[in-house]
Amino acid sequence: MNTAPDNSNESLADQAIDWLVLMRSGSVTDAARHQFEAWYGQDDANRQAYAEAEALWGSVAQAVKTTPPANFQPKQIHAVPRLPRRAGLAMAASLVLGLLIGRDRLHDWLLSDYATAVGEQKQIQLADGSRVLLNTDTALDIDWSADKRRVVLLRGQAEFKVTSDANRPFEVVAGDTAVRALGTVFDVARPAADKVEVNVTEHAVAVRLTDQADVAAIQVEEGQRLTYSNGGGLDKPAPANLNQLNAWKRGKLIFHDQALADVVAELNRYSKAKIILNGEDVKQLRVSGVFPTDGLAMLDALQKSLALRQTALGPWLVILHS
């Protein structure tokens, strides 16, 4: 069954993306199509927003319309009868990888007060009334006291909507960084163990390195983002495309002319299996599009649209190659 989007609480850009995803789904009911036509014909702003959404859909959406070559047969390889030893080694390597990934997650979950599984999102409310939206594969540790509100982001990504309390500052610690709320809505992400990203949706935050308490914090304003990698200083705040960066909160991922290597790095956060790209030419393929935050659905769309082959080694490892 296919239903029209509920646009009542979404921006015009979000509405356009929702309609685009539905209209490209291939299973649009007559009722939904009539609703779309009414929305599209309502005014020029709607039509402009839809055109911009189509531009985001870009090259991948265009490729999806094209039937793959007749000789293209994606591979699903779990064992190779003629090479049992190599197949066994591959399966063993996959199992070891799965255990290593599971060990890291288990360690963070044991230290956390709140956590989400891969592919899960969860909304929580803290004791002070602040709200936190946890993205996929996220773990938080809460350190509350009479004079401070401190949250440790052990892994993953979370959005914070902070309740004001002049006597207790609200701070999020992620790796080597500390992000202090200045009455705000912001999110903090750890896309890798050695990397931190801060995006500000409302008001501002102050960011510092935890081992440099005597150095002035960098203020990041609404509509800006800041990134940090271990071994370097804090980058200067830069303008952020919040519609793209906040898409995960609406169950979507948006990419605009990005390398497949970067797209897969993001996809790996939503996929239970580790996805690896084989070949520099494959890694540099360009991707634009709007995808659901569903690891399997997105992997399938990328594979088909870019005419790639897929080799699965057990449940923990998938290789995309030409």
The larger pLDDT score, comparing residue 17 to residue 102, is at 17
Does any domain span residue 27?
yes
Does residue 54 surpass a pLDDT of 90?
no
Q: Per residue in 203-234, pLDDT tens? A: 999 999 998 877 889 999 999 999 999 877 89
Q: Residues 148, 192: one domain? A: yes
Report H helices in the chain.
Answer: 12-23, 30-40, 44-64, 84-111, 242-245, 260-267, 280-283, 295-305
Q: Per residue in 111-148, pLDDT tens? A: 789 999 998 999 999 999 999 999 999 999 999 888 89
Q: Quick check: 114 and 132 in contact, CB under 8 A?
A: yes
Average pLDDT (234-252) is 92
Task: Write down the pLDDT at residue 91.
Answer: 45
Q: Residues 237, 261: one domain? A: no
The larger pLDDT score, comparing residue 40 to residue 52, is at 40
Q: Quick check: 150 and 143 in contact, CB under 8 A?
A: yes
Q: Residues 204, 222: one domain? A: yes
In whole angstroms, give the CA distance from residue 244 to residue 252. 9
Residue finishing a domain among 245, 269, 302:
245
Does any domain span residue 68?
no
List the structure tokens of 55. Answer: 């531009």
Q: Per residue in 86-104, pLDDT tens? A: 444 444 444 444 444 555 6
Does any domain span residue 230?
yes
Task: Write down the pLDDT at residue 62.
Answer: 42
C-alpha count within 13 angstroms, C-beta hemisphere, residue 296: 5
Does any domain span residue 146?
yes
In whole angstroms, give the CA distance from residue 252 to residue 5. 14
> Where is average pLDDT lowest: 21-30, 140-149, 236-245?
21-30
Does any domain span residue 71?
no
In whole angstroms, give the CA distance from residue 95 to residue 80. 17
> Where is average pLDDT lowest: 74-83, 121-130, 179-188, 268-277?
74-83
| Residue 26 pLDDT level (bands cut at 50, 70, 90) | low
Q: Residues 132, 240: one domain? A: yes
Task: Write down the pLDDT at residue 32.
Answer: 83
Q: Residues 235, 173: one domain? A: yes
In whole angstroms, give the CA distance from residue 308 to residue 264. 13
Q: Residues 129, 182: one domain? A: yes
Sole residue written with tokens 């356009």? 16
Task: Write down the pLDDT at residue 17.
Answer: 74
Does any domain span residue 310?
yes
Q: Residues 236, 269: one domain? A: no
Task: Write down the pLDDT at residue 105.
Answer: 64
Does any domain span residue 4?
no
Q: Quick check: 321 and 281 in contact, CB under 8 A?
A: no
The larger pLDDT score, comparing residue 204 to residue 9, is at 204
Residue finishing a domain among 245, 269, 285:
245
Residue finishing a domain among 245, 275, 303:
245
Q: Residues 224, 280: one domain? A: no
> Domain containing 203 — which CATH number?
2.60.120.1440
Contacts of 117-121 with CB under 8 Å at 24 or more apart are 118/269, 118/270, 118/271, 118/272, 118/295, 119/270, 119/271, 119/272, 119/293, 119/294, 119/295, 121/251, 121/293
Does residue 305 surpass a pLDDT of 50?
yes
Q: Residues 189, 225: one domain? A: yes
Q: Residues 132, 220: one domain? A: yes
Q: Residues 157, 228: one domain? A: yes
Task: Write down the pLDDT at residue 85.
Answer: 42
Q: Residues 216, 303: one domain? A: no
The range of the structural domain enclosing residue 46 comes to: 12-62
Does residue 180 surpass a pLDDT of 60?
yes
Q: Quick check: 187 and 201 in contact, CB under 8 A?
A: yes
Does any domain span residue 156?
yes
Q: Could you give the number of structural domains in the chain?
A: 3
In whole angstroms, give the CA distance from residue 27 to residue 1. 8
In whole angstroms, give the CA distance from residue 37 to residue 311. 41
